[in-house]
Amino acid sequence: MRLGFRLKHHFFSAFRELFVHHHGSLEFRAKIFALLIAANEEATVENYVLIKNIGLKLYKDDTDRANLLMLSSKELVKKVKENNGLDIDSLAFNIQKELKIVPRYAKKIDVDALREFLKYTYDNDTLAYQENILEFLQKIKDETLNQNKG
């Protein structure tokens, strides 16, 4: 990793709430990606490349924001895998809780884009688990959007 990029990442990590436009939205997306990736014990670098590519589309080729989305997701996955104060259940609960506070975030759950991560899962049990996570995300998205009509 380039030194300049690492320094920029550490700076943004320390102060992202102050300096990153729509920080909450980016963090919410990172949680969604992390939930799906952390369910795969064999998560590979391709998962993070996919996040960056999705981020580039979402943020109209803003490389810094796409990188920050990727790195934020990676940090969350690492916390889950190391059992560092976060597990998959608490991450899912956190996503649900955040949707209650900021219902418009439900529009940020793109299950079709998330399905792309399943291409990097080679274990049938893990694949079934990730499919259940996608169903869960679709359900809470639909419930949130239906509750907030009107």
Q: Give the tens place of pLDDT for each residue, 64-117.
A: 999 999 999 999 999 999 988 889 999 999 999 999 999 999 999 999 999 999
Q: What six digits make up the tokens of 137?
A: 């995300």
* Type of residue numbered 33: F
Whether 136 shows a pLDDT value over 50: the answer reads: yes
Cα 108 to Cα 21, 36, 113, 124, 134: the distances in Å are 16, 15, 11, 27, 13
Domain holding 108, by residue range, is 3-147
Smallest CA-to-CA distance from 150 within 101, 110, 103, 109 is with 103
DSSP 115: G
Number of independent structural domains in the chain: 1
pTM, rounded to two decimals: 0.84
Residue 148 three-state SS: coil
Within the chain, what is the greatest distance between any pair of CA atoms? 50
